[in-house]
Amino acid sequence: MDYRVFSMSSGEDEDSTEAHVFARAYRGVWRAIHGSEPAGRHQVAALGFVVDFGGRAPARVRSSHADATPTARCAEPACTAVDIPTGGRHDY
């Protein structure tokens, strides 16, 4: 893989297994969501490092999720019962 992981604070290469596992997983998720290779520097402030994927020209990749239609989902549980009469109609 063509990427470099380095520390935000020192600029030195980050050679830990965790950093490289994260970078590879990040690349996979990026490809699935965007349908292209990540490019340039991606700062991960919470972990204190930067992943540099190199060049700026995105290369399209084949992904089943790249052209998927977004789906809205309700994140809130239904906490109250709804009284729907038989037949689904309300008489007003």
User: For 16-69, how does the pLDDT look when each residue is reduced to its tens digit (9 = 90+)?
Assistant: 999 999 999 999 999 999 999 999 999 999 999 999 998 764 445 554 554 444
Q: Would residue 79 count as lying in a domain?
A: no
Q: Would residue 5 count as lying in a domain?
A: yes
pLDDT for res 89: 53
Query: Which DSSP helix (H) or strand (E) runs through 77?
Result: none
If one counts the domains in the chain, the total is 1
Structural domain of 40: 1-55
Distance separating alpha carbons of residues 69 and 33, to the nearest angstrom: 12
Q: Would residue 3 count as lying in a domain?
A: yes
Under 8 Å between Cβ of 55 and 23: no
